[in-house]
């Protein structure tokens, strides 16, 4: 049990260093400080714009003009980060893998972290945050759809390349398929 305070302190002190190395992406730093949120040492406050989106994601409030829509989308972008349609962003590009790897490493260092999350209520708090983020993403997509039908320019509507883009599945690695086939044979 002496190891727990040391690990929490290490995560707390390493987070600023990680954040400085990755200035454009806060998710790796957030993953490193996850134990602090799990033990309720550090709390996430849900931004008001996400709470409003959660209460009424399909509200027609502030959708009369392209300017109003753009303002609402920019507020959501400020807390959610860039949308999938941002110009110059490759499909599937993101820091999800780096964030997941950091989160997995931190979680394996602290045994029983899942139980700690349940006891402290961090699990429930995380679900509330995730629901608010989801509602914010839904609201942003809804606003951009309205902006598209009104003929608004981006940011009030999706970028033209995103609208013209055709949906496609990511390429499948043949090595992974062969491993799956071998498992099925056994």
Cis peptide leading into 155, omega within 30 of 0? yes
pLDDT greater than 80 at residue 178: no
**Concatenated DSSP letters for 76-88?**
HHHHH---TT-TT
Tens digit of pLDDT for each residue in 82-134? 888 877 666 555 445 455 555 566 556 655 666 666 666 667 777 888 899 99
- Which of 14-23, 66-75, 77-86, 154-163 shows the lowest per-residue confidence on average (mean pLDDT)? 14-23
Domain extents in the chain = 45-100+124-164
Digit-coded pLDDT (tens) for 17-58: 333 333 344 555 555 555 545 545 446 688 999 999 999 999
Whether the pTM exceeds 0.85: the reply is: no
**What SS3 state is found at 147?**
helix
């Amino acid at each position: 049990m002496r190891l727990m305070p040391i690990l929490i302190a290490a995560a707390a002190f390493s987070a600023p260093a990680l954040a400085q190395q990755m200035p454009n992406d806060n998710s790796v730093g957030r993953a490193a400080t996850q134990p602090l949120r799990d033990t309720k040492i550090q709390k996430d406050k849900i931004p008001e714009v996400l709470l409003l989106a959660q209460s009424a994601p399909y509200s027609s409030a502030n959708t009369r003009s392209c300017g109003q829509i753009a303002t609402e989308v920019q507020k959501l972008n400020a807390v959610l980060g860039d949308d999938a349609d941002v110009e110059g962003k490759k499909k599937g590009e993101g820091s999800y893998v780096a964030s997941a790897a950091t989160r997995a490493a931190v979680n394996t260092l602290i045994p029983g972290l899942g139980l700690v999350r349940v006891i402290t209520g961090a699990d429930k708090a995380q679900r509330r945050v995730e629901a608010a983020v989801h509602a914010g993403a839904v609201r942003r997509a809804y606003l951009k759809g309205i902006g598209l039908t009104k003929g608004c320019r981006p940011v009030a509507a999706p970028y033209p390349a995103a609208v013209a883009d055709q949906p496609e599945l990511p390429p499948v690695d043949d090595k992974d398929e062969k491993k799956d086939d071998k498992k099925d044979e056994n």
